[in-house]
Amino acid sequence: MSLAPLLVAVPLIAALVCAVRGTRAAGVSALAATTTLIVGLVVAFSSFAGPPEHAAAGLMYVDALSGLIVLIIALVAATAALYAVAYVRNAVAAQEIAPTEVRWFYVWIQLSIAAMFAVPLMNNLGLMWVAIETTTLTTALLVAFFRRGHSLEAAWKYLMLGAVGLGFALFGLILTYYAASHALGEAAAALDWDELRANAAALDPALMRVAFALVLIGFGTKAGLAPMHTWLPDAHGEAPTPVSVLLSGALLNCAIYGVLRFHLLTAGTLGAGFSSDLLLGLGAISIAVAVPFVLVQHDLKRLLAYSSVEHMGIVALAVGIGGPLGLFAAAFHMFNHSLAKTTLFVAAGALGQRYGTLRLTRMRGAFEVAPLPALGLVIGTLAITGAPPFAPFASEFGIAQAGFAGRPAALAAAVVLIAGSVLVFGGMLFHVLNVVLRTAPRRLHFAAFPFATAFIGVPLIVLLVMGIWLPPPLRDAFTAVARVLQVAP
Partner 1 sequence: MIGAAAVVDGLALLLLAVALFSVTMRGLVSGVWLLVVQSLLLAFVAATIGVSSGAAHMWAAAILTLAVRAFAIPAVLFRVLAAVALKRETRPLLSTRHALIVAVGLALVAYLAAGRLELTGAFPARQALPVSLALIFIGLLLMATRRKAISQLIGLITIENGIFLTGLIATLGLPLFVEIGIFFDLLVAVGVTAVLTLRINEQFDTMNTDELRRLRG
For partner 1, the binding residues (CB under 8 A) are 124, 126-127, 129-130, 133-134, 136-137, 140-141, 144, 147-150, 152-157, 159-160, 163-164, 167, 170-171, 173-175, 177-178, 181, 190-191, 206-207, 210, 233-234, 237-238, 293, 296-298, 302
**Nearest-10 Cα torsion for 203, 205, 209, 212:** 20
Minimum CB–partner distance for residue 25 and partner 1 (Å): 20
Query: 180 or 482, CB closer to partner 1?
Result: 180
Minimum CB–partner distance for residue 147 and partner 1 (Å): 6
Minimum CB–partner distance for residue 342 and partner 1 (Å): 23
Provide the β-strand partners of residue 54: 61
Query: 171 or 397, CB closer to partner 1?
Result: 171
Task: Cite the beta strand spans of 122-209 per DSSP E.
Answer: none
Q: Which residues contact 16 (CB under 8 A, 6 or more apart)?
A: none
HSE-CB at 268 with a 13 A cutoff on CA atoms is 21
Give 457's DSSP letter.
Answer: I
Query: 126 or 389, CB closer to partner 1?
Result: 126
Give 58's DSSP letter.
Answer: T
Neighbours of 51 (CB within 10 A): 7
Written as one string, the DSSP assignment of 372-422 is: HHHHHHHHHHHHHTT-TTSHHHHHHHHHHHHHHHS-HHHHHHHHHHHHHHH
SS3 122: strand
SS3 185: coil
Cα gap 282→266, rounded to integer Å: 17
Query: 171 or 425, CB closer to partner 1?
Result: 171
Minimum CB–partner distance for residue 220 and partner 1 (Å): 17
Give 191's DSSP letter.
Answer: S
Query: 129 or 219, CB closer to partner 1?
Result: 129
Query: 177 or 397, CB closer to partner 1?
Result: 177
Cα gap 14→105, rounded to integer Å: 12
Answer whether 308's CB lies under 8 Å from 224's CB: yes
Query: 207 or 432, CB closer to partner 1?
Result: 207
Q: Which residues contact 31 (CB under 8 A, 6 or more apart)?
A: 14
Minimum CB–partner distance for residue 392 and partner 1 (Å): 25
Query: 145 or 257, CB closer to partner 1?
Result: 145
Reported residue count of the chain is: 489
Minimum CB–partner distance for residue 104 and partner 1 (Å): 11
Minimum CB–partner distance for residue 241 and partner 1 (Å): 17
Minimum CB–partner distance for residue 127 and partner 1 (Å): 6
SS3 20: helix
Minimum CB–partner distance for residue 410 and partner 1 (Å): 31
Give 246's DSSP letter.
Answer: I
Query: 41 or 210, CB closer to partner 1?
Result: 210
